[in-house]
């Protein structure tokens, strides 16, 4: 029963995020990278640890990226992305903000599968306000 509730919450959250994103697309440039995945992972916020159920990523042509980590809580992260070429499956992430702009600093790697879906994600970020380290590791199913 608990697993079904978690799955339903995850699906609802991902759908809501995608729906909200489509409203924003009417005003913002279209993203050049949109990728989602359900899977397993963990988020550590200081000493607290949460199970990571899904990841939603939107990368824009101007180099900006928005990352949503879906768990019991949802964490919004923003920054910049780059890769060597269009076919490169490894994307380098530079994290510069979160739900409060400019309060996060760090980096990570996003690995895409052949069909441009998320294969894995690793992040290591520091909250500049609280000085807490945030790490995330995720593998798609």
pLDDT in tens, the chain (141 residues): 544 555 445 544 544 444 444 444 344 567 789 999 999 999 998 889 999 999 999 999 999 999 999 998 888 999 999 988 888 899 999 999 876 667 899 999 999 998 889 999 999 999 888 889 999 999 999
| CATH number of the domain where residue 39 is located | 2.40.128
Q: Which domain holds residue 77?
A: 2-140
Residue pair 118/112 in contact by the 8 Å Cβ criterion: yes
b/e map 63-83, b = 16+ CB within 10 Å: ebbbbbbbbeebbebbbbbee
pLDDT at 46: 85
Domains in the chain, number = 1
């Amino acid at each position: 029963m608990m697993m079904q509730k978690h799955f339903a919450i995850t699906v609802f959250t991902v759908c809501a995020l995608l729906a909200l994103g489509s409203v924003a697309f009417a005003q913002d440039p279209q993203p050049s990278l949109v990728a989602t995945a359900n899977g397993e992972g963990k988020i550590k916020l200081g000493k607290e640890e949460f199970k990571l159920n899904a990841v939603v990523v939107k990368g824009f042509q101007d180099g900006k990226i928005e990352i949503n980590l879906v768990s019991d809580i949802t964490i919004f992260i923003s920054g910049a992305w780059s890769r060597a070429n269009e076919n490169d499956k490894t994307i380098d992430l530079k994290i510069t903000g979160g739900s409060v702009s400019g309060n996060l600093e760090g980096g990570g790697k996003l690995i895409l599968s052949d069909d441009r879906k998320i294969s894995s994600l690793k992040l290591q970020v520091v909250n500049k306000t609280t000085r807490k380290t945030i790490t995330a590791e995720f593998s798609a199913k």
